[in-house]
Amino acid sequence: MKITLTCIVARKKIPVELTFCGKIIEVRFSYFAPMVEEVKAMKGAKWNNELKYWTVENCKRNLFSFDILVRGPKFQRYLRPQSAMSPCYIEGTPSPLWAHQQDIYQFIMTRQRCLVGAEPRTGKTRPTLQAFWDSPFEDCVWVTTKSAELGLERELYKWFPKRILISDQSYSGLVLPTKRIHIMSYDKFTSLMKEFPVGRKLHGFWVFDECHKLKTPSAQRTEQAMRLSEMLEEIYDGKEYLIGLSGTPSPKDPSDWWAQCEIIRSGYIREGDITKFKKRYGFYKPWDGSTPAWERFEGWNKEEIHLLSQRLVGLVKVYFQKDCMDLPPIREEIVELTPSKTLLRVAKMIVDTEDNALKARTRLRQISDGFEYATEYNEATNKIERTGLNFVGSPKIDRLKEDLDEYEEVGRVIVYAGFQ
């Protein structure tokens, strides 16, 4: 099959002929350097020197790239202004969305495939849930980290009580919930997608929370997320919602954007692989033959990186705490943790065997943090001295690991710890 497109490149209209041959597309056009650069950046681009034409992979990514060049209908969604629609609050909602949350909500409803980068505690979960509530889909799959699950459940309980049901929970009440949310970890998502057959029906609303987990292109979860993205487009043809939520609106490594943007809207970034991305936005030493060229990366081109944020407008929107003027004061959160049976047995043994109440209390404080000092009598000093510690584990340690996992992209976390 052959089609002819009129691509707009460098403010010029270039006729381009596409010939679809199975898994490849033959691309023919009169030589124009900017158009050559566009095609070279596509996935699987190769130059046929004998027949004088380019070939690229026949995939959703490259088709969207051509849609961008012709200013097609799929790309128009990212050019039009945000919708001014208002949320449909359920009866009894305590308070409306904050101003920046209203902006997030409208951004999601307009783009449908988009990435929201907002600093922690700016409240990006609620407007995303509101977008799901106002969408035509009855089911949402929310992929997140274990540490973020509790916060999501609190948001559901606060803003959508008995209206959005978590799929693995039982329900009792007079008002039947109209929507369901399926919460899963990234590991569960990866294993599920590996076994998911092509052609099987998928839910139409997906959220990748803490989506910096998908920044590595070679990771299995990233590969499966890209597969999901293509399957959704195949099934729903642009009606689906695929939302990325990130707590790092300005990652230290600009290449972290590539895989996340590829998953959310493959082809929006011009470069078809991360190596091409780095070559465009980075500095490389001149190759002298002593080392492989790809190992001579010097750093990032500040001028190109500055332009990157402008190129991502439409797909990515970032929010910093300093810009969210109506955020409430910082609040403290008390999390009650349940000790394990092993920890309780050790505590009971201390209470039953220790004859000194002060020593018992000290030992109990120690095991609350997951350890107990080991002591022995030293004949040389005639004193009981510490010789090490016995580790028994603690839910506080597990919680700390989850918090570190949630904030790993922030770069700095202050932890205050002490006995109480």
Give the pLDDT band of residue 226 (cuts 50, 70, 90): very high
Give the pLDDT band of residue 338 (cuts 50, 70, 90): confident
Residue 313 has what DSSP assignment?
A: B
Q: What is the predicted pLDDT for the residue at 290?
A: 64
The span from the CA of 266 to the CA of 274, in Å, is 13
Q: What is the predicted pLDDT for the residue at 401?
A: 85
Q: Contact, 226 vs 269, CB < 8 A?
A: no
343: region left, alpha or beta (phi > 0 left; psi from -120 to 50 alpha): alpha
217: which residues sit within 8 A by CB, 6+ positions away?
223, 258, 259, 262, 273, 274
Task: Count CA atoms within 13 Å of residue 103 on its CB side.
Answer: 15
Q: What is the predicted pLDDT for the residue at 396?
A: 85
Highest mean pLDDT among 31-40, 340-349, 387-396: 31-40
* pLDDT tens digits, 357-408: 988 888 888 888 888 788 888 888 888 888 888 787 888 888 888 888 777 7
* pLDDT tens digits, 299-335: 788 888 888 888 898 999 999 888 887 777 777 788 8
Separation in Å, CA 361 to CA 24, 96, 394? 72, 48, 17
The span from the CA of 205 to the CA of 69, in Å, is 28
For tokens 């039947």, what's the residue?
Answer: 176
Residue 411 has pLDDT above 70, yes or no: no
Q: Contact, 189 vs 145, CB < 8 A?
A: no
Q: Per DSSP, what are the bridge partners of residue 5?
A: 16
For tokens 């208002």, what's the residue?
Answer: 86
Q: What is the predicted pLDDT for the residue at 378?
A: 86
pLDDT more than 70, % of the chain = 92
The span from the CA of 42 to the CA of 57, in Å, is 8
Q: What is the predicted pLDDT for the residue at 260?
A: 94
Q: Contact, 213 vs 376, CB < 8 A?
A: no
Q: Residue type at 15?
A: P
Q: What is the predicted pLDDT for the residue at 248?
A: 83
The span from the CA of 73 to the CA of 79, in Å, is 10
Residue 268 tokens, joined? 């929006």
Q: Contact, 305 vs 254, CB < 8 A?
A: yes
Architecture of domain 99-269+312-323: 3-Layer(aba) Sandwich (3.40)
For tokens 């990186």, what's the residue?
Answer: 305
Residue 362 tokens, joined? 């000290």
Residue 337 has pLDDT above 90, yes or no: no
Long-range contacts of 13-17 (CB under 8 A, 24+ apart): 16/66, 16/69
Residue 131 tokens, joined? 């977008």
Q: Residue type at 224?
A: Q
pLDDT more than 90, % of the chain = 45
> 3-class secondary structure for 71-99?
CCHHHHCCCCCCCCCCCCCCCCCCCCCCH
* pLDDT tens digits, 127-148: 999 999 999 999 999 999 888 8
* pLDDT tens digits, 40-80: 999 999 999 999 999 999 998 999 999 999 999 999 999 99
Choice among 69-83, 110-124, 196-210, 369-383 with the minimum mean pLDDT: 369-383
Residue 358 tokens, joined? 């002060």
Q: What is the predicted pLDDT for the residue at 169?
A: 59
Query: Is the four-CA dihedral 275, 406, 143, 180 of positive or negative sign?
Result: negative
Q: Please name which of 221, 219, 281, 285 lies closest in space to residue 253, comparing C-alpha atoms.
A: 281
Give the pLDDT band of residue 168 (cuts 50, 70, 90): low
Separation in Å, CA 228 to CA 101, 103, 152, 274? 27, 27, 23, 19
Q: What is the predicted pLDDT for the residue at 173?
A: 47
pTM across the whole model: 0.78
The span from the CA of 140 to the CA of 85, in Å, is 21
Q: What is the predicted pLDDT for the residue at 214?
A: 94
Annotated domain spans of the chain? 2-76, 99-269+312-323, 341-406
Q: Contact, 87 vs 105, CB < 8 A?
A: yes
* pLDDT tens digits, 270-300: 888 888 888 888 776 666 666 655 556 677 8
Residues in the chain: 420
Mean predicted confidence (pLDDT) in 79-86: 90
Residue 187 has what DSSP assignment?
A: H
* Angle 58-64-68 from CA coordinates, rounded to 5°: 135
Q: Residue type at 235?
A: I
